[in-house]
Amino acid sequence: MELLTISKAAKKLGVHPNSLRNWEKQGLIKPVRSPGGQRRYSMDELNRLLQSGQLDAGQEGVVLYARVSTKKQADAGNLNRQLERLRQYVIESHYHVVAEFTDVASGLNQKRHGLTNVLKLAERGEYKKLIIEYPDRLARFGYSYIERHLRYCGVEIVAIAEKEPE
């Protein structure tokens, strides 16, 4: 029996590897674990999943993006709490997460790896909604340019809160 890595299985299904991880948490798919603890998927399991009709039926693929300005904020748990609030929103909205990206950097910093990945996936058409907590978590300045570019890529930005508390 041939076992596929998570990236090969995701490619066969046309989804992001995070989708497979999420489906495992939901009990939709059960990977085999290698001696090193890595996930492996059999073609039988992938076919069973495809035939079950449970693959995100009616769910829209989204990307989560969270940012804090300093390592001190990240170490205090602010980044993790922000991500948890985004995940809770996704669950309540019946979306499925394509990917999650984070940055520990100023909102003025243009060299953020997480934001770069958000834009790359949008340009490849891999999701339809970007979920953020507040608009300034995406960018302090230039938000409208990012929003315009994402809209051009077919992506809507959803800020789950309008204004950050003082």
Active site residues: 69
- For the chain, the C-alpha Rg in angstroms (whole number) is 17
List the end-to-end C-alpha distance of the chain, in Å, as a whole number: 57
Give me the helices (H) in the chain, please.
Answer: 6-13, 17-25, 43-52, 71-75, 78-93, 113-123, 135-138, 143-152
* Residue 143 one-letter amino acid: Y
Nearest to 130 by CA among 109, 162, 159, 152: 159
User: At what angle are helices 113-123 and 143-152 packed, to 10 degrees?
Assistant: 30
